Structure 1
Amino acid sequence: MYPRTQALLNSLLQQQIVPGLSYALINGQTVMTKVQGDKQWFPEPERLQPGLLYDLASLTKVVGTATVVFELIAAGKCQLDDSVQQYLPAFKDHRVTLRHLLTHTSGIAGYIPHRNQLSAIDLQAALLALPVTATFERQMVYTDVGFLYLGWIVEAICQQPIQTVITERVLQPLRLFNTTFKPVASRCVPTTYQAGYLRQGQVHDPKAQILGMHCGSAGLFADLNDLVTFSQWYLGQRPDLPDLLSAEFRQSLLQDWTGHQLGRSLAWALRSAVDGHQLLFHTGFTGTFLLLDLQRQQGLIVLSNRVHPQQKNDRFLIAREAIVQSFIQELTD
């Protein structure tokens, strides 16, 4: 399956762009998985083994937070065009809605001095005080802020921390038993190695480190098999799992939801197939990405630790785009 895509994935290892790779290719009911390379290079090289957990980074947004928000909308607990201020009174701009947060068109931006030294309470207050800039509704600017807000909106509705809600409303019903916010370090693929410190089993994202269970933008750890299960469920291939989101709603994600033709769905990015139909796409900073073709029932899941040993790794970003383009081309072959 997908020989050119597999060749490009293998080249990530051959060129030492990433230490190791766990990936899955889904074609209808056929699933091919591969785990290869190294778990880490520092402080000592170790081989990668199947079943290890990766820091999903921003895949947390689509696996966890967005799924919960979509459930709450379907249950009538909130509406897409509700004002953020209705749930988070500390935020002072009445124009911004849940739709803006989900499509990254809120325009919320700004610099927070000494952000990584703040307490959770102070960081949340600083984030809620950020201004709405001139990009509001005019540009799609990808940011974590919208999904931090969405997590706190879920908390206001459910009266529980967002990570608890995700665990109870998504991970447990979908039987994603290896997906967790509290992993055992020895079961995890490490991320950065700096000043003699190997980050393993601790979330890489600084805001997630501070906010803990109140972070909806990052924090999940998962293995490849659970992401295959999640992807099959999203594709509608798992009737044995609860229908948390209707098939009609999932199909509705294959369109621009910004209202201004900015090319973004709710939570997901959109990529066009050769014949023009849309695919759902999302990435994670640590070296994870997910591409789902609901129409053709195909998918690509890639897990890596591209931030090991250091987080600046632009070669990976270039290679990732080539892999995505190759997969899209091979969808129709």
Structure 2
Amino acid sequence: MYEKTVEAIKQLVNDGTVPGVSYAFIDAQGVKTGLYGAEALVPSYEPLKPDQLYDVASLTKVVGTVNVTMLLIADGNLALTDSVSEYLPAWQDSRVTVRHLLTHTSGITGYIPHRDKLTASELHQALLGLHVGEDFERKMVYSDINFIFLGWIAETILKQPIQTLITQQVLRPLGMNDSTFQPADPSRCVPTEVSPTRGLIRGVVHDPKAFVLKAHCGSAGLFSTLNDLVTFEQAMLSDGNLPITREQKGALPNDQTPLRQQWRSFGWALLQTKLPTPHRCIWHSGYTGTFLVLDLQTSQGMVFLSNRVHPKAPNEVFLARRNAIINTYLGEKSRVAVD
């Protein structure tokens, strides 16, 4: 099973597109995992080891911040129609709602000079000083800012940093005990970029905004292992220890954008698959070279972890190859579901 997908993953390593990959496939037969290649190329070659922590970048959004937000909604402490300015008074445009943030249809735009050199307080103020552009509600434009704002809204309501809330409400209840925002041992972390200003980034978040905002960033910052992300996907695929309510999970394959035509759900992007009947899967990627795919209808999932920005970012060649691997997986997954 999944032979073509595994072969495509190995080819990604063999031709030098990424140093290495840890991967897993989940279905009714169980979990198939594998790893291939290296975790570091510089300053010296290190073969990939099991149970290493990856900087999963924007997977933080769907593993963490989406679920914290949806639990606030389920508890009646927040509504999709609530204006962002109700919770973040410094934000001046009352048109932007929680739904807009969750579906990346807020239209928030603007340029922040010297963004990566600002202090956390300065960056906080600058982000709240941005404006809404012409894409508001009409177009899905993916942006970390939406999920940074969602994290701040949760902090306003629950009076704790968003990363603490993710740990308390998602990671620990699901038993994702290796997952953390502050790795204690850098050697257990797969390194990311060799930065001109930061050197080899290992055990510290790669994302510049998350590096500045630290515990107050809901868009990136999580480090996780293959096994922990398998645990997360298994929870999402079951009706047991879900990180959200069953009703909320049932709504995820639907387009939740205001115009219902942008192929975006609450945090997750949508994919179409044909078998056993035409239906939608949900998926999300991380800049560092990670992605999750979930088919909630057939109870199947895939976890893919690489460090495509090692030793050098952005490595845009990876993106088309990633998409091809996902399409190969969707085809093989469909056959497994039907057999």
Q: Same fold (TM over 0.5)?
A: yes
What is the CA distance between 1:143 and its match in structure 2?
0.5
Matches within 5 A, 1:108-257: 108-183=108-183, 184-195=185-196, 197-236=199-238, 239=240, 242-257=241-256
**Deviation by residue 1:152-177 (Cα, 9 ceiling, x = unmatched):** 00000000111111111111111100
Distance across 1 between alignment mates of 2:28 and 2:270? 20
Partner of 2:285: 283
Partner of 2:311: 309
Distance across 2 between alignment mates of 1:191 and 1:55? 8
1:330 paired residue among 329, 332, 335: 332
Between Structure 1 and Structure 2, how many residues are aligned? Answer: 330
* Residue 31 of structure 2 corresponds to residue 31 of structure 1: yes
Distance across 2 between alignment mates of 1:142 and 1:243? 26
Distance across 2 between alignment mates of 1:303 and 1:173? 23
Q: Contact conserved, 1:236 with 1:247, CA < 8 A, in 2? A: no
The code of the aligned residue for 2:255 comes to D
The code of the aligned residue for 2:63 comes to V
Distance across 1 between alignment mates of 2:212 and 2:258? 34
The code of the aligned residue for 1:67 comes to N
The code of the aligned residue for 2:234 comes to Q
SS in 2 for 1:173: helix
Task: Give ranges in structure 2 of 5+ residues lacking alignment.
Answer: none
Partner of 2:13: 13
SS in 1 for 2:204: coil
**Deviation by residue 1:122-154 (Cα, 9 ceiling, x = unmatched):** 101100110000000010000000000000000
Distance across 2 between alignment mates of 1:79 and 1:96? 13
The code of the aligned residue for 2:137 comes to E
Q: Contact conserved, 2:100 with 2:258, CA < 8 A, in 1? A: no
The code of the aligned residue for 1:222 comes to S
Distance across 2 between alignment mates of 1:233 and 1:34? 20
* Residue 56 of structure 2 corresponds to residue 56 of structure 1: yes
Distance across 1 between alignment mates of 2:242 and 2:294? 18
What is the CA distance between 1:251 and its match in structure 2?
1.4
What is the CA distance between 1:29 and its match in structure 2?
4.2
Distance across 1 between alignment mates of 2:244 and 2:101? 19
Seq. identity, %: 52
Runs of 4+ in 1 over 4 A off after TM superposition: none
Q: Contact conserved, 1:61 with 1:218, CA < 8 A, in 2? A: yes
The code of the aligned residue for 1:161 comes to P
Partner of 2:94: 94
Matches within 5 A, 1:74-93: 74-93=74-93
Partner of 1:40: 40
Q: Contact conserved, 2:180 with 2:222, CA < 8 A, in 1? A: yes
RMSD: 1.1
What is the CA distance between 1:331 and its match in structure 2?
2.1
Distance across 2 between alignment mates of 1:69 and 1:246? 12
Partner of 2:22: 22
Partner of 1:66: 66
Distance across 2 between alignment mates of 1:290 and 1:167? 19
**Deviation by residue 1:51-101 (Cα, 9 ceiling, x = unmatched):** 100000000000011110011100001001100000000000000000000
Distance across 2 between alignment mates of 1:122 and 1:97? 24
Task: Give ranges in structure 1 of 5+ residues lacking alignment.
Answer: none
SS in 2 for 1:302: strand
What is the CA distance between 1:247 and its match in structure 2?
2.1
Residues 268 and 305 (structure 1), Cα distance of their counterparts in 2 relative to 1, 3 Å cut: same
TM-score by length of 1: 0.97
The code of the aligned residue for 2:74 comes to A
What is the CA distance between 1:197 and its match in structure 2?
2.1
Distance across 1 between alignment mates of 2:324 and 2:87? 41
SS in 2 for 1:38: strand
Distance across 1 between alignment mates of 2:284 and 2:153? 22
